[in-house]
């Protein structure tokens, strides 16, 4: 897991409770176990780490350290269960196409487990999430 040396903010706390993370694009459901969080790129318990561990490829060019916007996802459900984006994330999101109110950087968005969450990978990444070859 990488660290951005230019950011002082502490990583968001990992989830405290088990919850279901649904990938809206495919309907795939990931059971998130706070006792068994994957050791992938992005903050511990982040959407990026959870998606990667489930075999779902999401672009993450900077390695999950808030230095790009390629891990941009939408969080149409359960967004309030994650701490708000820090300023550095907001700055990177400004570069992401097709921003919405529920846009987040997947490597920084860490739900607390209080509710189930739905995540959607934007269109330009759809090839990455399709389970069928094109």
Within 90-119, which residues bind ligand FES (CB under 6 A)?
Answer: 92, 105, 107
Cβ-contact 134, 127 below 8 angstroms: yes
Is residue 45 near ligand FES by the rule CB under 6 A? no
With CB under 6 A as the contact rule, which of the stretches 15-23, 62-70, 76-84, 111-119 interacts with ligand FES? 62-70
- The residues with which 74 forms a beta bridge, in sequence order, are 103, 120
In the bound state with ligand FES, the residue whose beta carbon lies nearer, of 60 and 74, is: 60
- Of 19-27, 66-74, 75-83, 116-124, the window that binds ligand FES (rule: CB under 6 A) is 66-74
> Closer CB to ligand FES, residue 68 or residue 117?
68
CA 115 – CA 72 distance, rounded (Å): 21
Q: What share of the chain is helix, strand, coil (3-state, %, to 5)?
A: 20, 15, 65
Name the pairing type of β-strands 19-23 and 117-120. Answer: parallel
Residue 50 makes contact with ligand FES by CB under 6 A? no
Nearest approach, Cβ of residue 60 and ligand FES (Å): 4
Region binding ligand FES by CB under 6 A among candidate stretches 17-25, 60-68, 77-85, 115-123: 60-68
The answer to whether the beta carbons of residues 51 and 76 sit under 8 Å apart is no
71 binds ligand FES (CB under 6 A): yes
Q: Which residue has the tokens 């040396």?
A: 5
Q: Give the residue among 79, 85, 74 at the shortest CA–CA distance from 129.
A: 74
- Residue whose pair of structure tokens reads 């990488």 in the numeric block: 2
Interface residues with ligand FES (CB under 6 A) are: 60-62, 64, 66-68, 70-71, 92, 105, 107
């Amino acid at each position: 897991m990488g660290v951005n040396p230019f950011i002082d903010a502490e990583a968001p706390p990992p989830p405290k409770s088990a919850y279901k993370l649904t990938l809206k694009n495919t309907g795939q459901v990931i059971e998130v176990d706070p006792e068994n969080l994957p050791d992938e790129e992005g903050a511990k318990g982040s959407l990026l780490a959870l998606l990667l561990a489930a075999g779902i490829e999401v672009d993450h060019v900077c390695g999950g350290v808030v230095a790009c916007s390629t891990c941009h996802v939408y969080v149409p459900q359960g967004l309030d269960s994650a701490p708000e984006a820090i300023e550095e994330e907001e700055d990177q999101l400004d570069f992401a196409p097709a921003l919405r109110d529920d846009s987040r950087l997947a490597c920084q968005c860490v739900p607390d487990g209080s509710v189930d969450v739905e995540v959607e990978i934007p269109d330009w990444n759809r090839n990455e999430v399709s389970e069928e070859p094109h």
